[in-house]
Structure 1
Amino acid sequence: MPAKKYFEYILNPMEILRTKKVLQVNPTVAPTRKEPEESRICVYEYDKDKCSDVKLKEVTDCFKFLDSRSITWINVDGLRKDDVEKLCAHFSVHPLIVEDILSIGQRPKMDEINGLVFCVLSMLYYNDKDSIVETEQVSIILGNNFVISFQEDAAKDAFNPLRDKLKINTSKVRQNGADFLYYTLIDLIVDNYYLVMEKLGDKIENLEEDIIRNANTRTLAKINMLRKEMIVFKRSIAPVRELVNGILRSESELIEEKTEKYFKDVYDHIVQANDLAENYRDMMMNLQDLYLSNVNLKMNEVMKVMAVVTCLLAPATVIGGIFGMNFERLPLLHNQWGFFISVAAMLFIPLVMIGIFRKRGWF
């Protein structure tokens, strides 16, 4: 393998940048997110009998829904600081919550401030092209008859099943209050974790087959990259368990007693997701051990072959060395069959050695 290509395998700059992106999190640093040119605002207003959805251009157009008697879901795609602050100020959202919404890499958590239930968590996607886990921070606010959700990227969304349910009159979302809508949003995000885990599971299985069949210098880099994605996944879903548990222990009047059983179901799902993540992490450690074992096994096979070849050539070396001595009188030195006898001995002794090795099961 050329030296340049070898060092590209060992020192891949993209892998180094990925490591910094995975591990570098500093909540005290001011956000440096590039604001989009415009925010996409979609409002769903519904009750048991009707449902309407409108797309708004200005955040001020959402103000009228504060006093609506119907359930209102305001979904904001694209975080612009001015728009978020205006919307939150009108709906009496605490400045600390606004800071969490605009933060980058915020740890999943829930808060109850000013009579509102707020949570922030990560929505996960698996990028098949780059084989990495991508995260999007989602903030959700539950108020009296309204839910406000903030997303960073409009192109990535796991809420389409909810939009389909809102179009059905008999759906549970339409028959229940804002707290059930709040539960549904969190449940869809948690369910999406399983899609990412399925992709990671497939990658682990394929990598295990590659290690068993043909482990090479690139295999260890693949293991390390997959371990980094498991770190991203584990770090994103582990705090969600505390988040849902906080909602269950909350005494907020916004969450009805009949909705608590649905949050318990989400809690069960996130516990299972954490258990699977732990299993995958253990599998990654086992894959690394399997790779090292295969490398050592191949090295042992090479050393065994070299040892056998050395042993088989030893008789010829000894015989050739003896007859190469500078003595005047050597056995068979002037015999016309001396050369053939020495060659026959050089061949016969290794054959006997091979038989002994085979009998002992050394190869």
Structure 2
Amino acid sequence: MLTTLLYQPHDDSLLSGDEANIKAWKQSHDAILWLNIDGELTPALQQMLQADFGLHPLALQDASRDRHPPKIEAFEDHTFLLLRGLSASSESINCDNILLALFVGKRFIITRHSARSLSIERTMNEVMAGNLSMKLGTGALSLKISRFVVKRYHKILFDLESRLEELESIMLTTADDKILAEVVLYKTDLTRLRRNFHYHVELFNSLRDEPSLPFDEQLAHEINDVCEHQHRAASLADLFYQVSSDLIDGYISISAHRLNNIMKVLTIITAIFVPLTFIAGIYGMNFEFIPELKHHNGYFIVWGVMITITIVLLLLFRKRKWL
């Protein structure tokens, strides 16, 4: 689906429409056009974008893919940004990504996403509601989209922080393999997110250090703000990845400690019953001539010896602090 927003500076008007706005934009010398493509970037669309906006075919090829690392590429009259955002249904760390392509020129911004993008929708709604003006320029508009993209990640990371704190408290009292499985999944998801964030950090650092058209000095503060948001997301992902690793190691250590305590108890029980079993085994043999068998108080003497051995062993274990 193709939608457009056409802004006319001379009368501060905004017109929402379809492909027909492209013709009006081409006839104007100062109008600003936002062309949004929701879905497949067909060969016919690619040809139109090359002819009307001068977009490079290789950049269009990257924008048409569903999987590609985030990147930035500067051309003579525009900048190509490729971001990895969240799908509309993603509300947790176990999220799906969509590729978000932005071609940002002086008088146009072209966005393409393969599935519904809440960041694009929110920015468009703010423009149409008058809360965000296209007269600020296409650079400011693209940075606003980028900020919405990373803020959705922030919400997911903050929710994960609360959950990791809960799991840490539970682990101290409960040894449950379901908890371990949950933390392992979080670590896997964070590995993927960290990769995205570090791509984004490198991308916006490059834009800040070497601004390209239309990102001029007037947008320096906005670029720095997006960079800070990206750095924060990356640092949070790194932190929670380390926390997840520590929780896994802590769970394994706690489980090993509990197993050692169990084995210690079983070992003590075994150590006590070994001599008792030995005594019972000797006097349980079926030889006819065992001197003690005929002793009048033999039964009580054996019991006394066995009880004495048990008491002595328990005292010895306690003295060595094994109990």
Asked whether the two chains share a fold, i.e. TM above 0.5, the reply is yes
- SS of corresponding position for 1:319: helix
Residue 330 (1) aligns with residue 259 (2): no
Q: Distance in 1 between matches of 2:203 and 2:128?
A: 29
2:184 is aligned, of 224, 232, 247, to 224
2:303 is aligned, of 337, 343, 357, to 343
For residue 139 of structure 1, report the CA deviation from its aligned partner: 0.3
Do the aligned partners of residues 213 and 71 (structure 1) sit closer, same or farther apart at CA in structure 2, a change above 3 Å counting? farther
Residue 71 (1) aligns with residue 44 (2): no
Q: Which residue of 2 aligns with 1:5?
A: none
Do the aligned partners of residues 80 and 138 (structure 1) sit closer, same or farther apart at CA in structure 2, a change above 3 Å counting? same
For residue 353 of structure 1, report the CA deviation from its aligned partner: 2.6
For residue 219 of structure 1, report the CA deviation from its aligned partner: 4.5
Contact kept in structure 1, 2:8 and 2:14, CA below 8 Å? no
What count of residue pairs does the alignment treat as equivalent?
318
Percent of pairs identical after alignment?
23
- SS of corresponding position for 1:106: coil
RMSD over aligned Cα, in angstroms? Answer: 2.7
1:120 is aligned, of 82, 100, 108, to 82
For residue 222 of structure 1, report the CA deviation from its aligned partner: 3.2
Contact kept in structure 2, 1:133 and 1:232, CA below 8 Å? no
Q: Which residue of 2 aligns with 1:142?
A: 104
Unmatched 5+ residue regions in structure 1?
A: 1-38
1:98 is aligned, of 54, 57, 60, to 60
Residue 45 (1) aligns with residue 3 (2): no
Residue 152 (1) aligns with residue 114 (2): yes
Unmatched 5+ residue regions in structure 2?
A: none
Contact kept in structure 2, 1:133 and 1:233, CA below 8 Å? no
Contact kept in structure 2, 1:139 and 1:150, CA below 8 Å? yes
Which whole-Å deviations, capped at 9, do the CAs of 1:15-40 have from their partners, x for residues lacking one?
Answer: xxxxxxxxxxxxxxxxxxxxxxxx2x
TM-score (norm 1): 0.77
Residue 235 (1) aligns with residue 198 (2): no
For residue 225 of structure 1, report the CA deviation from its aligned partner: 2.3
Q: Distance in 2 between matches of 1:66 and 1:213?
A: 68
Contact kept in structure 2, 1:44 and 1:51, CA below 8 Å? no
Q: Which residue of 2 aligns with 1:36?
A: none
- SS of corresponding position for 1:361: coil
For residue 309 of structure 1, report the CA deviation from its aligned partner: 0.8
For residue 199 of structure 1, report the CA deviation from its aligned partner: 3.5
For residue 96 of structure 1, report the CA deviation from its aligned partner: 1.3
Do the aligned partners of residues 180 and 297 (structure 1) sit closer, same or farther apart at CA in structure 2, a change above 3 Å counting? same
For residue 183 of structure 1, report the CA deviation from its aligned partner: 1.3
Q: Distance in 2 between matches of 1:264 and 1:128?
A: 27
Letter in 2 for 1:140: L
Contact kept in structure 1, 2:32 and 2:108, CA below 8 Å? yes
For residue 278 of structure 1, report the CA deviation from its aligned partner: 1.6
Q: Distance in 2 between matches of 1:249 and 1:165?
A: 29
Letter in 2 for 1:341: I
Bigger drift between 96-105 and 291-300 goes to 291-300
Letter in 2 for 1:163: M
Q: Which residue of 2 aligns with 1:266?
A: 226
Q: Distance in 1 between matches of 2:169 and 2:192?
A: 24
Which whole-Å deviations, capped at 9, do the CAs of 1:101-138 have from their partners, x for residues lacking one?
Answer: 01232111111124111100100257468x62211000
Q: Distance in 2 between matches of 1:211 and 1:88?
A: 56
For residue 50 of structure 1, report the CA deviation from its aligned partner: 4.6
Q: Which residue of 2 aligns with 1:275?
A: 235
Do the aligned partners of residues 199 and 145 (structure 1) sit closer, same or farther apart at CA in structure 2, a change above 3 Å counting? same
Q: Which residue of 1 aligns with 2:147?
A: 187
Q: Which residue of 2 aligns with 1:311?
A: 271
Residue 200 (1) aligns with residue 160 (2): yes
TM-score (norm 2): 0.86
Q: Distance in 2 between matches of 1:271 and 1:161?
A: 23
For residue 141 of structure 1, report the CA deviation from its aligned partner: 0.9
Contact kept in structure 1, 2:79 and 2:213, CA below 8 Å? no
Q: Distance in 1 between matches of 2:5 and 2:119?
A: 16
